[in-house]
Amino acid sequence: MGRSTARLKDIATRTGFSVNTVSLALRGSPRIAEGTRLTIVQAAEALNYLPNHIAKSLVSRETRTIGLVLTSITNPILTRVAQAIELRLAELGYSTLFATSNGRPDEEIKAVEMFRSRQVDGMLIYPCSHRELNHIRKVRAAGYPIVLLAGDADAGVDVVGMDTRQGGYAAVRHLLDCGHRRIGLIDGGKQRGNLEKYDGYRRALDEAGLTDDPALHVVPVAHSVAGGFDAMSELMARGNGMTAVLAATDSLALGALRWTQQHELRVPQDMAIVGFDNIEFAQFAATPITSVDYAVDLVTERAVDRLIGLIRAEDSLPEAEVMLIEAELIVRESSAEPR
Amino acid sequence: MGRSTARLKDIATRTGFSVNTVSLALRGSPRIAEGTRLTIVQAAEALNYLPNHIAKSLVSRETRTIGLVLTSITNPILTRVAQAIELRLAELGYSTLFATSNGRPDEEIKAVEMFRSRQVDGMLIYPCSHRELNHIRKVRAAGYPIVLLAGDADAGVDVVGMDTRQGGYAAVRHLLDCGHRRIGLIDGGKQRGNLEKYDGYRRALDEAGLTDDPALHVVPVAHSVAGGFDAMSELMARGNGMTAVLAATDSLALGALRWTQQHELRVPQDMAIVGFDNIEFAQFAATPITSVDYAVDLVTERAVDRLIGLIRAEDSLPEAEVMLIEAELIVRESSAEPR
DNA sequence: TAGGAGGCTGTTATCGCTAATACAAGGGCA
DNA sequence: TGCCCTTGTATTAGCGATAACAGCCTCCTA
């Protein structure tokens, strides 16, 4: 290691006071005389003293650290969420330990265990699956403050996130209002039990008296632009009469858009495209993409506030609360009536 | 808090062994009889024991944590870097503490101090400025392992990053080879002393016997698509005869591309565009964008390896090394001869 | 002048764990 | 039979900080 950090003891021997006095002085206790406080503070500065947060944590039993688990930070919206959370936590004096699950439940479990071992004061988790939450519920039951960044009303754990069910519904309603009847869906969420977007899609179709045709669904290989491109290719190869497509993320939507360009389909005339998250790249795409907004600031602010609230709840955690923020559909050029 | 975690002591009282025996048993010491090891391990599992990493750190004097400071995670390439670093560190048994400086030196300093206080074993820093590194040099001098993710040969601190000077040179050479003579530059790096891209640009112009015309430079308001859009607008308003433009990031390049679309310039015939980082959105843009690649995996792997090497250097840190990885120019449709 | 009340500072214990050392029991060897 | 060594477990100290409590002054008051 070699890192030679000054300790309270070093300041103590240097100034002749006891370790405890030094500690009190540096924390500005009123019980320490002004003169000695100054001496001690000066000595601390001279030695370039920084408190050992590890030692402090051991006795105070709080680390002022929270753990953030994301599936993959490659999704631009999760990126913004991560950054916003880090900033807000930093303002509140908390540090952020960061882990990614890569969408794999076992990695998620490992990350949570690691955070527990590191005694984080709480966790923010964007779960792989919105259904299988038992491992998380168990940790919450053990008294750990946890807030999920996505989930469903019956999660049994606190959730602060976007109402993607309603978002999916709004998107499809919009396409139906435009006159579309054959609406494709690029969404891999079903595979993992993240049914919200699909549910919204289906409900809107239901209300319009349309049947939910599996020929219009495709699961992208990855949540990337390339994945959207390939998914679009697959959908079109089926000859399913699709005139509009809803993609689970803007990255997928951009891939779909690129496919239409390469195959000389006009957007929105020949194919309407709607995405999720409202990222900047979608806004500035060749055809600006209609998208279900992700209210990053609102979600992160509420999620962090809720988590801090849980941390401050001295004895027992309050009942779990699910807060789903209504998603606004930002209509742009990529969606309009067919033909 | 309420979190009731089992301690070694709890296992000790439950099994009748001493705390130390339990500790040794759980760490698989050969000095513990197999039978008692089993008893203890079972008790630990029954109690759902997780070692207190904080307490362990205090005595072992290593936290197995590294600090990662990024300017802003909104840049998609930094995002990928962050993720790759986290993954690689996790494989090696290290956790990642994460902070953003927002491009502000004071925040950077604060982040570094926080990491020191939290006793991280080392730090990876994408510095705000590639010039003013004194605060970082000082920390390194105190024995802290630090690797920068960008910087220059004379940094005085370890650096593992892309050779953006050479990248800028290659990009401009390519445009010159295409026959362009009036090449714009969208780059805010100069303001902060990050001159590498500009240096490469200038050297290429120099070699071609062209003068470096300030009318061709613009500093974007932000490193966003919108920032690129506005920067392009500004450049074009000057009537400077520009036929090609080099943008410091692909986000900026995408903004520039969008501007040309809205103003019915053809790319590359009327305006060639080259970016940096080679993000997926650039690859799948309306006109796929020529870009200087950022070798994420290579940079992160080397940077992490170097950092771990520094951490393992028991007594004193070795001489600082600067490793700049040659950047490959990925030529796509957005660049070709003028007209 | 004695006794108490404050004002300051020092002592001791503790957080959960590890490392160094101590010690008890049993076995091998002379 | 006695001694030493090995094996297995317990004791003690200490990581760097905080917290509770214990003193020692000095000064004021009765």
CA distances to A274, B83, B269 from A287, in Å: 11, 30, 20
Residue A255 predicted with pLDDT over 50: yes
Residues of B in contact with A3 (CB under 8 A): 142-144
As a rounded value in angstroms, the CA-to-C1' distance for B159 and D15 is 33
CB neighbour list of residue B284: distance below 8 Å, 6 or more residues apart: A225, A226, A229, A254, A255, A258
| Contacts with B, A 175-234, CB within 8 Å | 224-226, 229
Write the burial class of residue A109 (CB in 10 Å: 0-12 exposed, 13-18 middle, 19+ buried). Answer: middle
pLDDT of residue B3: 54
Average of per-residue pLDDT across A201-211: 97
User: B207: pLDDT confidence band, cut at 50, 70 and 90?
Assistant: very high
Tell me how far apart the alpha carbons of residues A166 and A33 are, in angstroms, rounded to a whole number.
62
pLDDT of residue B337: 76
Percentage of the residues of chain B whose pLDDT score is greater than 70: 98
pLDDT of residue A339: 63
pLDDT of residue B4: 65
Residue written as tokens 């929270």? A66
pLDDT of residue A316: 81
CB atoms A79 and B73 under 8 Å? yes
Average of per-residue pLDDT across B181-189: 95
CB atoms A53 and B226 under 8 Å? no
Which parts of the protein come within 7 Å of strand C, by CB position?
A: A 16-21, 24, 31-33, 35-36, 55, 58-59, 61; B 7-9, 19-20, 23, 26-27, 51-52, 55-56, 58-60
* Sequential DSSP letters for B105-134: HHHHHHHHHHHHHTT-SEEEE--S-SS--H
Average of per-residue pLDDT across B35-63: 94
Q: What values do phi and psi take at A329, rounded to 5?
A: -90, 120
The strand order across the sheet containing A329-330 reads A217-218, A183-186, A244-247, A272-277, A290-293, A329-330
Residue B1 predicted with pLDDT over 70: no
A153 touches chain B (CB under 8 A): no
Nearest nucleic acid nucleotide to B22, CA to C1' distance: D9
Q: Pairing mode, if any, of strands B290-293 and B329-330? A: antiparallel
The count of other CB atoms within 10 Å of the CB of residue B72 is: 18
CB atoms B284 and A53 under 8 Å? no
pLDDT of residue B316: 81
**Dihedral angle sign, alpha carbons of residues B139, B144, B145, B149:** negative
Residue A177 predicted with pLDDT over 70: yes
Residue B13 predicted with pLDDT over 70: yes
- Mean pLDDT across chain B: 94
Tell me how far apart the alpha carbons of residues B181 and A88 are, in angstroms, rounded to a whole number.
47
pLDDT of residue B191: 85
Output the CA torsion B303→B309→B312→B318 (10° steps): -110
Q: Pick the closest to residue B208 from B239, B248, B243, B179 (CA basis).
A: B179
The pair of structure tokens assigned to A280 is: 């900047």
The pair of structure tokens assigned to A95 is: 């540090």
Q: Pick the closest to residue A257 from A241, A238, A271 (CA basis).
A: A271
> How many residues are recorded in chain B?
339
A255 touches chain B (CB under 8 A): yes
Average of per-residue pLDDT across B45-73: 95
Going through chain B in order, the beta strands assigned E by DSSP cover 65-70, 95-100, 122-125, 146-148, 158-162, 183-186, 217-218, 244-247, 272-277, 290-293, 322-325, 329-330
**Dihedral angle sign, alpha carbons of residues A280, A284, A288, A289:** negative
DSSP secondary structure letter of residue A315: S
User: A1: pLDDT confidence band, cut at 50, 70 and 90?
Assistant: very low
CA distances to B68, B181, B247 from A233, in Å: 39, 40, 31
Instruction: Provide the H-helix boundaries in chain A.
Output: 8-15, 19-26, 34-46, 53-60, 76-91, 105-117, 134-141, 164-177, 189-192, 196-207, 225-237, 250-262, 280-283, 296-312
Tell me how far apart the alpha carbons of residues B50 and A38 are, in angstroms, rounded to a whole number.
42
pLDDT of residue B300: 98
Neighbouring-strand partners of residue A324: A161
A144 touches chain B (CB under 8 A): yes
> Which of these ranges, A61-70, A73-82, A261-270, B52-61, has the smallest mean pLDDT?
A73-82
Tell me how far apart the alpha carbons of residues B95 and B19 are, in angstroms, rounded to a whole number.
27
Q: Which residue of A has its CA nearest to B5?
A: A142
User: B2: pLDDT confidence band, cut at 50, 70 and 90?
Assistant: very low
Residues of A in contact with B2 (CB under 8 A): 143, 313-317
Residue A273 predicted with pLDDT over 60: yes
User: A295: pLDDT confidence band, cut at 50, 70 and 90?
Assistant: very high
As a rounded value in angstroms, the CA-to-C1' distance for A21 and C2 is 32
pLDDT digits (tens, 9 = 90+) for B106-133: 999 999 999 999 999 999 999 999 888 9
Amino acid code (one letter) for B65: T
Percentage of the residues of chain B whose pLDDT score is greater than 90: 87
Q: What values do phi and psi take at B66, rounded to 5?
A: -120, 155
User: B339: pLDDT confidence band, cut at 50, 70 and 90?
Assistant: low
As a rounded value in angstroms, the CA-to-C1' distance for B21 and D8 is 9
pLDDT of residue A75: 86
Tell me how far apart the alpha carbons of residues B57 and B113 are, in angstroms, rounded to a whole number.
18
The more confident residue out of A329 and A5 is A329
Amino acid code (one letter) for B150: A
Tell me how far apart the alpha carbons of residues B71 and B249 are, in angstroms, rounded to a whole number.
14
Question: Does an H or E element contain A291, and which?
Answer: strand A290-293
Residue A25 predicted with pLDDT over 90: yes
Q: Helix (H) and strand (E) counts for chain B?
A: 14, 12
pLDDT digits (tens, 9 = 90+) for A116-154: 999 999 999 999 998 889 999 999 998 899 999 999 888
User: A74: pLDDT confidence band, cut at 50, 70 and 90?
Assistant: confident
Question: Does an H or E element contain A273, and which?
Answer: strand A272-277
The more confident residue out of A120 and B191 is A120
Amino acid code (one letter) for B30: P
Residue A253 predicted with pLDDT over 70: yes
Average of per-residue pLDDT across A86-94: 96
Residue written as tokens 């450049």? B235
The more confident residue out of B149 and A336 is B149
Tell me how far apart the alpha carbons of residues A41 and B161 are, in angstroms, rounded to a whole number.
40
* Beta carbons of A60 and A30 less than 8 angstroms apart: no
Residue A223 predicted with pLDDT over 70: yes
CA distances to B178, B197, B216, B255, B290 from B183, in Å: 11, 14, 7, 17, 15
User: B72: pLDDT confidence band, cut at 50, 70 and 90?
Assistant: confident
| Nearest CB neighbour to A54, from listed B57, B97, B254 | B57
